[in-house]
Structure 1
Amino acid sequence: MADGGKDGSGVRGKSYVIVHNVSKRANVGTLARSCTAFGVEELLIVGSSKNFNTFGSHGSCDFVKFRHFYTLEDCVAWLRGRGTRVLGIEICDGAHNVASHPFHGDTAFLLGNEGDGLSAKQMALCDGFVYIAQHGEGTASLNVTVAGSIVLHHFATWARFPEREREGFKFVVGDRPPRTTKRGVVPPTEEELAEIRARRAGASAQDDGETFGGDLFD
């Protein structure tokens, strides 16, 4: 988990962030920083590549659990199989002001691209939408990272995540966990590792069988 203190009593749900084809190179790194700050359970990367840019993370990527999916449909199916709602962050008809905390249990937040927002395909996979109220006239919307951070803070407040301890003028950073893959690559899940081990074991058994059989008929 992004925050080891989230298992405290009274916590209402877990949060996830879905990153699907977000265009700006700094967004994943800066989003990872917000994810660990606001106790996100996992950052879900969707797309053809397991690689992502860590620019802007300031080392926080080591504290975030990543999971990769090749398609958004697979990602949403995995979430729903665990009873998790998918909320799009979008200014659209029917969207709820995030300040009203319209949350119910485990929730995944889907982010759109800068400028274009969520596509029709992405919106069709959402269970609902939240938006961030604005009070000034100078911009039509916030950038992806800022919007995501505000929403995650609201969810953390609603879900009653325990506040991290402070020291001086900063929050205390935990011990850096060991890295299992090179920086900027989504590591394999336990399920994927088990599948890899099973394939290797099967290949090894097949090789042993072929060697044994070959000796019999030499």
Structure 2
Amino acid sequence: MIYVVFVEPESPGNIGFLARTMKNFGLTNLVLINPCELKNESYYQAMHARDVVSNCEIYETLEEFLEKANISTAVATTGNAGGSYNISKIAVTPETLSDSINYGGNICLIFGREGNGLSNQEIALCDVIVSIPTHEEYQIMNVTHAAAIIFYELFKKEKSYPVDTLEPASAQEKKSLTAIMDEIIVKLGYPEHKTKNAQLVFDRIIQRAFITGREAHTLKGTLRRINLRTKEK
């Protein structure tokens, strides 16, 4: 089970935004540590995730929650991974976290205050620190934006999209496309060097693009008709 823990949220709206982000990625267990008052704004901003706000658990301290919830892995989030000599653990990226975390027990993802994040004491209670690489000019992200990135990295391991009808075009299918286009380009009467350049560019585009077999079949039919109607120069 994955818990999302928001420590001392200062804005009722951000609680709603976080709940909404959680539900986007199939997470429903919201825990608030010594939060501000839950107001209508929390439910309004949650939109279709109002149930996540309604069912949230509230604790006075992070220590109390970690003890009662039988957490196997506590993950702290921070925007100041590098350069803080007070942080005793090495921060990992969300992708690394997703690859290495053990989903067997109770996991909690802990997000800090909007103003100054988690304290060093709170971070010390955690097993792992995760940080999102950002530009040096503005390194600190909004808590819900950071949460969305972390949730996505965890969720993409579970989500599979239906790709039965999206079979990529084979090498032979791509080759037949470039062969027909080569004939068309020759018919245009370009100088030899321009003909070769045009053929090379089309070939590179086709090889680089993700084209399904169905798309290749349709494009091939179109190019054949163009080829038939193009007169030799």
Normalising by structure 2, what TM-score?
A: 0.56
Can you give the 5+ residue segments of structure 2 that lack an aligned partner in the other structure?
83-89, 162-233
- Structure having the larger proportion of residues in helix: 2
- What is the alpha-carbon distance in structure 1 between the residues aligned to residue 35 and residue 138 of structure 2? 33
- TM-aligned CA distance change 1:161 to 1:125, over 3 Å: farther
- TM-aligned CA distance change 1:124 to 1:26, over 3 Å: same
| Aligned twin of 2:77 | 89
Q: Residues 31-42 of structure 1: matches in 2 within 5 Å?
A: 31-42=18-29
| Aligned twin of 1:76 | 66
Quote how far apart the aligned CAs of 1:121 are: 2.3
| CA displacement, residues 153-180 of structure 1 (integer Å, 9 cap, x when unaligned) | 111123x1567xxxxxxxxxxxxxxxxx
Quote how far apart the aligned CAs of 1:137 are: 4.5
Do the aligned partners of 2:10 and 2:35 also contact (CA within 8 Å) in 1? Answer: no
Do the aligned partners of 1:88 and 1:128 also contact (CA within 8 Å) in 2? Answer: yes
- What is the alpha-carbon distance in structure 2 between the residues aligned to residue 155 and residue 132 of structure 1? 14
Q: Residues 123-142 of structure 1: matches in 2 within 5 Å?
A: 123-134=123-134, 136-142=135-141
Larger radius of gyration: 2
Do structure 1's residue 28 and structure 2's residue 18 form an aligned pair? no
| CA displacement, residues 192-215 of structure 1 (integer Å, 9 cap, x when unaligned) | xxxxxxxxxxxxxxxxxxxxxxxx
Q: Residues 63-212 of structure 1: matches in 2 within 5 Å?
A: 63=52, 65-79=55-69, 81=70, 83-90=71-78, 91-92=80-81, 94-100=90-96, 101=98, 102-105=100-103, 106-134=106-134, 136-158=135-157, 160-161=158-159
Can you give the 5+ residue segments of structure 1 that lack an aligned partner in the other structure?
1-13, 164-218
Identity over the aligned pairs, expressed in percent? Answer: 23
- What is the alpha-carbon distance in structure 2 between the residues aligned to residue 17 and residue 49 of structure 1? 17
1:60 to 49, 53, 68: 49
Aligned residues: 147
The letter of the residue matching 1:25 is: P
Quote how far apart the aligned CAs of 1:45 are: 1.4
Alignment partner of 1:86: what SS? strand
- What is the alpha-carbon distance in structure 1 between the residues aligned to residue 43 and residue 128 of structure 2? 29
The letter of the residue matching 2:93 is: N
The letter of the residue matching 2:91 is: A
RMSD of aligned alpha carbons: 2.5
- What is the alpha-carbon distance in structure 2 between the residues aligned to residue 73 and residue 88 of structure 1? 13
Normalising by structure 1, what TM-score?
A: 0.59
